[in-house]
């Protein structure tokens, strides 16, 4: 039934006629329920998968290209952002073979500094917006936040949904806010942050994922990194299954971004296995899978060096972010 609701031979507006709370509730609560025990067991089983040594270097390089190198602290300065951008473009100054990361993620007031440093290179500038991290502001304020970031040159916007509205069943409000932000983004890609730790159940994660995708999200993202637990393998598995099913029903590809608490190369590779085994190989690309992190890149570089030389570099060998 859901598949037939989504399909449109003219490629029309899927949400036409289903923007009310009641209609969206019927649609979202009609999704299949999540087997929580099964999801946790599946995620745990996939975490034991190993990658052969000859493939590990390729996996590490792929993970580097998927990183959204992030700094979202109150003490951030233009100088810190410029340093982060330099690292994003050339993660290891001693090894030009290391690929650049996908994006640098900053607050809206630092977008201009990041854009000036990155220029027209391949590294995108991502900006959090819409009253990050709480999402508790009027739509007017949220849209102004987005406009500031886009006007400063942001290529990607990471918005947060109003979790209070979602949990209260005000699905229409959440939907309309996402659609309005998507329009305000213009050419910039929109990542919709669900803050899954506050959604309480995996069923809610699925519903929020579908709601965001129906409203126009280019990516769905686990978390702000400001609430614990942030990204977890079971949540990522559910979201990856959602984008897979959404593509099968609608024909539109939506990406997934995991963020918060991913600090080691081992963690990153486990997520790559989840992507491959759940959504499929199509999503094994930075255009459809991202990892939001600040300290992860250094461990990826250390593990990469170990693969090439057989020796680990010290913790302070690479610059601290």
Q: Specify the CATH number for the domain of residue 128.
A: 3.20.20.70
- pLDDT of 319 strictly over 50: yes
Q: Is residue 314 part of a domain?
A: no
Determine the straight-line distance between the first and last CA of the chain, rounded to whole angstroms.
Answer: 48
Q: Is residue 318 part of a domain?
A: no
- Which residues are 258's β-sheet partners? 291
Backbone angles phi, psi at 293, to 5 degrees: -160, 160
Q: Is the pTM of this model over 0.75?
A: yes
Q: Is residue 2 part of a domain?
A: no
Q: Given this model, what pLDDT does residue 276 score?
A: 97
Q: Is residue 277 part of a domain?
A: yes
Q: Is residue 177 part of a domain?
A: yes
The range of the structural domain enclosing residue 218 comes to 36-309
Instruction: Name the band, by pLDDT with cuts 50, 70 and 90, for residue 14.
Output: low
Q: Which long-range contacts link 303-307 to residues 24+ away (Cβ below 8 Å)?
A: 303/56, 303/60, 303/265, 304/57, 304/60, 304/61, 304/64, 304/92, 304/98, 307/53, 307/56, 307/57, 307/60
Q: Is residue 184 part of a domain?
A: yes
* Rounded average pLDDT over 265-289: 97
Segment 16-71, tens digit of pLDDT: 556 689 999 999 999 999 999 999 999 999 999 888 877 999 999 999 999 999 99
Segment 143-183, tens digit of pLDDT: 999 999 999 999 999 999 999 999 999 999 999 999 999 99
Q: Given this model, what pLDDT does residue 286 score?
A: 98
Q: Given this model, what pLDDT does residue 238 score?
A: 98
Q: Given this model, what pLDDT does residue 42 score?
A: 97
Q: Is residue 72 part of a domain?
A: yes
Instruction: Tell me the catalytic residues.
Output: 158, 221, 257
Q: How far apart are CA 29 and CA 206, in angstroms?
A: 10
Number of H helices, E strands in the chain: 13, 8
Domain count, the chain: 1
Q: Is residue 10 part of a domain?
A: no
Pairing of strands 156-160, 189-193: parallel
Q: Given this model, what pLDDT does residue 307 score?
A: 87
Residues with Cβ within 8 Å of 62's Cβ and at least 6 positions away in sequence, in order, are 272, 284
* Rounded average pLDDT over 229-243: 97
């Amino acid at each position: 039934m859901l598949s037939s609701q989504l399909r449109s031979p003219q490629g029309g507006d899927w949400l036409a006629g289903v923007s009310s709370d009641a209609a969206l509730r019927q649609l979202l609560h009609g999704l299949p329920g999540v087997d929580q025990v099964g999801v946790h067991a599946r995620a745990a089983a996939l975490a034991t998968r190993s990658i052969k040594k000859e493939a590990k270097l390729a996996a590490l390089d792929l993970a580097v290209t998927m990183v959204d190198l992030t700094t979202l602290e109150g003490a951030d300065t233009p100088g810190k952002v410029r340093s982060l951008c330099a690292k994003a473009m050339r993660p290891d100054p001693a090894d030009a073979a290391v690929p650049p990361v996908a994006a640098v993620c900053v607050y809206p007031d630092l977008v201009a500094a990041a854009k000036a440093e990155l220029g027209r290179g391949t590294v995108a500038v991502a900006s959090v917006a819409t009253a990050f991290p709480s999402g508790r502001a009027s739509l007017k304020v949220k849209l102004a936040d987005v406009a500031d970031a886009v006007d400063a040159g942001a290529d990607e916007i990471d918005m947060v949904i109003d979790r209070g509205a979602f949990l209260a069943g005000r699905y229409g409000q959440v939907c309309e806010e996402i659609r309005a932000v998507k329009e305000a983004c213009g050419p910039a890609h929109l990542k919709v942050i669900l803050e899954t730790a506050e959604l309480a159940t995996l069923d809610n994660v699925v519903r929020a994922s579908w709601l965001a995708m129906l409203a126009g999200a280019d990516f769905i993202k686990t978390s702000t990194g400001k609430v614990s637990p942030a990204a977890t393998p079971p949540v990522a598995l559910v979201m990856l299954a959602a984008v897979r099913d959404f593509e099968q029903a609608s024909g539109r590809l939506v990406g997934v971004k995991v963020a918060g608490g991913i600090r080691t190369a081992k963690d990153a590779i486990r997520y790559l296995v989840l992507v491959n085994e759940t959504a499929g190989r199509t999503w094994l690309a930075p255009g459809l899978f991202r990892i939001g992190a600040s300290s992860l890149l250094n461990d990826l570089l250390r593990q990469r060096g170990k693969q090439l030389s057989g020796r680990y570099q010290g913790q302070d060998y690479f610059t601290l972010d």
